[in-house]
Structure formats: C-alpha cells, structure tokens
C-alpha cells in the first residue's frame, strides 16, 4: 500500500453461512460474503483513520481508506478549544458508532428494560430533526444482511426514524407480544437487533457543512452513557478532531470530548451531506451507510 505515512490496519474477508431449523417448521440457509477493514496513519504525534465495508473486495476501497487516513494525519497544527457549545460535523465513522448505540436503544428489549431514549415514546412521535431518516436494511446487498432472523421470521427493510418521526422499535416475537405488536424480523440470539443501518443523504456537499466555523470529529472512542433514558453520553475524539474557521482547516484539537445527549443531537441535526460511506470496524460493529452530518450547539469539553 502506497502511503506518505506509516499505516497500520486490517482487512477482513469473511464468508458466512447461516442455517436455521426451528421446532415450528422453518428450515433455511443464508450465505453471504463480507469485506471490511480500517487503517490508521501516523505522522509523528498526529494521526488519521478511515474504515470501509462492502460485500465484494475492491482495491479502490482499500486505497481510498489509506488516502483518507493519511489526509487527516497530515493536519499538524494544534489548536486549543475551550469548553462550550459548538457546531460539530460528525464523520461517517462517528455516525456509525453513535447511531449504532441509537439502534441498540431502538431494540424492543432495551425499551422494555428502560435502557433507551425511546422507553416512553410511541410510534408516530417526533423525536428528531425532520432531516433524519434512519433505516434498518437487511434486504440490501450489504454486510450482515440476512433473509431471516434467528426465530425464522423473514426480514424486511424498515424505517426506525423517518423524517424525524419514530416509526417502530426492532422486535422479535417475544418482545413484540409484550408490546402488543408484531415481530419486525430482528431477532438476534438474545435480543432484537439491527442488521445494517442506513442514514438517508442530505442535499449539500460535505465541504458545505464546514463552510463556517465548525469542528469535525473524524473518529471517536470511549463512548460511555451516564443516563440511557436521557441518552446522556460522552465520547472522546481521535484521528483527528479538525478545527475549521471560515471554512478552512486551521489545525487539530487533541483530547476533545463530546459531552451531550442523543436527544439533543437528534433535535439539533442541521444538515447532511450528499456523499455517503459504508463503514464498519470494531467501534462501529453494525455496518452503517451514512453521510457526514452537521449538528448545532453540541457541548464539548476537554478530555
């Protein structure tokens, strides 16, 4: 791999065959292939990262991941950022991480257990900016897609949030019965889960999200929730957190943390990019096709 900086990472090539036989007469087999990976580039104390996912291998995907990681590592000027609220752009990797947690909260079991921002939310309730549509897409040609869930219910694509409105929790048969609903084909081994996630694109270029003064979080880790019902969480930026002033990158801010709530993020989503990327790595284990996203008034603190 050609790179101007040292690069470390991994590429996973997986063939998965799932066979299920149930006592109710279901007998099915589902065979899929998956490719995913990520790369980190190091430029002294500065770094960048990018990930990718697909159902077929492509040199182009690998090359673009390395190039993007290297581009972020090339930004070397350090910029201090005080505690406060800022316009923040989240990259697809950060969206994959945080919206993976959001999808977990849409699991019917999380709702029943009171570990979800949706615990008292009925389908049809507005929970987010009208610009947000979040889908579970097991019928698309994407990693971890599957034709049936682990109870033998056929899967289907569905909106979790559509136009800012909560549409449905993710359900297996048992939790569906508790909630007086029907299974959505999302039974996992223990609890209902999303298969693949998709965030609908916006109407602007990624550069337009950064046209003013904003802070771009390209990657994150150590996401921890202090209150699941309110969605109160913190997560630390890494690889890199880039400060933009008047649309120009002026440097990176090390050890900067988002300390806000999922509820606030959902309400304060301002715009999404046209460009979308399918990402998957160990801190975003559910494959997610998502754009860059601009959020207004996000609380940041020093980590």
Beta carbons of 7 and 70 less than 8 angstroms apart: yes
Asked whether the CA dihedral 62, 137, 134, 100 is positive or negative, the reply is negative
pLDDT, mean of residues 20-32:
97
Q: 2-11, 146-155, 271-280 — which is least confidently predicted? A: 2-11
| Residue 194, SS3 per DSSP | coil
pLDDT given for residue 303 in this prediction: 83
**Cα radius of gyration rounded to whole Å, the chain:** 20
> How many whole angstroms separate alpha carbon 199 and alpha carbon 202?
9
> How many whole angstroms separate alpha carbon 12 and alpha carbon 38?
9
The structural domains of the chain, with segments of one domain joined by +, span 7-73, 78-303
Report pLDDT digits (tens) over 91-118: 999 999 999 999 999 999 999 999 999 9
pLDDT at residue 1 is higher than 90: no
pLDDT given for residue 101 in this prediction: 99
Q: Say what the pTM is.
A: 0.97
pLDDT given for residue 193 in this prediction: 98
pLDDT at residue 130 is higher than 90: yes
| Residue 262, SS3 per DSSP | helix
Which among 274, 144, 160 has a CA at the least distance from the CA of 207? Answer: 274
Contacts 24+ apart (CB under 8 A), 207-211: 207/247, 208/271, 208/273, 209/89, 209/271, 209/273, 209/292, 209/293, 209/294, 210/89, 210/244, 210/247, 211/247
| Residue 72, SS3 per DSSP | helix
pLDDT at residue 77 is higher than 80: yes
- Give the pLDDT band of residue 2 (cuts 50, 70, 90): confident
Report pLDDT digits (tens) over 202-243: 999 999 999 999 999 999 999 999 999 999 999 999 999 999
Q: What is the DSSP string of 118-145?
A: TTT--TT-B-S-TT--EEE-TTSSSTT-
Phi, psi of 37, deg, nearest 5: 180, 175
Neighbour count for residue 212 (Cβ, 10 Å):
12
Phi, psi of 45, deg, nearest 5: -85, 0
Beta carbons of 299 and 268 less than 8 angstroms apart: no
Write down the mean pLDDT value for the chain.
97
């Amino acid at each position: 791999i050609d790179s101007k900086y040292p690069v470390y990472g991994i590429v996973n090539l997986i063939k998965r065959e799932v066979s299920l036989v149930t006592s109710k007469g279901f007998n099915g087999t589902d065979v899929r292939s998956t490719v995913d990976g990520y790369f980190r580039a190091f430029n002294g104390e500065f770094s960048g990262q990018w990930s990718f996912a697909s159902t077929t291998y492509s040199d182009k995907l690998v090359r673009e991941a390395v190039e993007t990681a290297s581009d972020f590592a090339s930004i070397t000027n350090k910029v201090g950022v005080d505690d406060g609220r800022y316009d923040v752009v989240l990259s697809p990797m950060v969206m994959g991480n945080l919206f993976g947690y959001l999808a977990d909260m849409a699991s019917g079991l999380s709702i029943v257990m009171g570990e979800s921002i949706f615990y008292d939310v009925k389908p049809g309730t507005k929970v987010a900016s009208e610009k947000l549509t979040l889908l579970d897409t097991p019928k698309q040609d994407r990693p971890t897609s599957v034709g049936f869930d682990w109870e033998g219910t056929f899967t289907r694509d569905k909106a979790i949030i559509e136009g800012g409105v909560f549409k449905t929790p993710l359900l297996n048969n048992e939790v569906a019965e508790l909630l007086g609903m029907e299974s959505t084909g999302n039974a996992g081994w223990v609890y209902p889960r999303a298969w693949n996630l998709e965030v609908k694109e916006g109407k602007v270029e990624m550069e337009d999200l950064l046209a003013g003064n904003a802070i771009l979080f390209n990657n994150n880790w150590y996401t921890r929730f202090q209150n699941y019902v309110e969605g109160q969480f913190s997560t630390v930026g890494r690889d890199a957190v880039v400060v933009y002033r008047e649309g120009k990158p002026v440097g990176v801010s090390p050890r900067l943390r988002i300390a806000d709530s999922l509820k606030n993020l959902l309400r304060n989503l301002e715009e999404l990019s046209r460009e979308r990327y399918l990402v998957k790595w160990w801190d975003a284990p559910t494959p997610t096709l998502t754009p860059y996203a601009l959020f207004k008034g996000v609380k940041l603190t020093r980590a």
